[in-house]
Amino acid sequence: MIKDDEFIRNDGVPITKEEIRALSLSKLNLIHSDIVIDIGCGSGGMTIEMAKIAKKAYAMDNSEDAINTTKANLEKFNIRNCELISGDAKEELEKVLKKLKESNESNELNALPSENLKIFIGGTQNIEEILKIANKYSIKTIVSNTIVVNTGLKIAEILENYGYEIDLINMNVSYGRKIKSGYMMIARNPITIITAKK
């Protein structure tokens, strides 16, 4: 895992912390033949970790600051198998999935099994529409992170209604800070990680 302080950062652009990235990657269970889509890429922390494993990555965000920060990090870590997309996630996701589906149908010998197409959601804007599109294209593995507990429960409920098996984790990470008498633990905001599989 890449250390958080190795990434190029931009004020106001979030990054998924190292420990959360590690667990999220574990839940995605990526292999080298996978194609993965990062929705709400932020600073590109998850994008880069996923692209290091997967055959191809797509990263999308509607924030120009996020796109620029992710681009800078892709260049820093010499990631060449990622397509960066600026725009509304629900529209761009539909375009990417449609393109991949048409590409598979036109070349049966190199068709991508649906199990090898996975989605990570780091931003939850328009989440209902995004999940609807993912289900429409029969995405087998979806992992979503959220800081808002109610949003996590909403995502789990929607995906459960689509027939996914749900795994729900709330992760609290604390970091040790050296003080005179020893160490004190500084807590970060808890993150809910939703894993949905068919």
* Residue 41 assigned ligand-binding role: yes
Smallest Cα–Cα separation from 47: which of 20, 2, 82, 88?
82
* Residue 65 assigned ligand-binding role: no
Look up tokens 């328009």; give the residue.
126
* Residue 38 assigned ligand-binding role: no
CA-to-CA separations, 18 to 3, 46, 59, 185, in angstroms, rounded: 6, 9, 18, 17
* Residue 138 assigned ligand-binding role: no
* Residue 152 assigned ligand-binding role: no
Whether 65 and 88 have beta carbons less than 8 Å apart is answered as no
Cα separation, 144 vs 198, whole angstroms: 15
Whether 168 and 152 have beta carbons less than 8 Å apart is answered as yes
* Residue 122 assigned ligand-binding role: no
* CB under 8 A, 24+ apart: contacts of 150-153: 151/124, 151/127, 151/192, 152/192, 152/194
Strand ranges (E), 64-134: 82-86, 117-121
**CA 13 and chain centroid, separation:** 15
* Residue 87 assigned ligand-binding role: no
The annotation places the binding site at 16, 40-44, 61, 89
Which residues are annotated as part of the binding site for S-adenosyl-L-methionine?
Answer: 16, 40-44, 61, 89
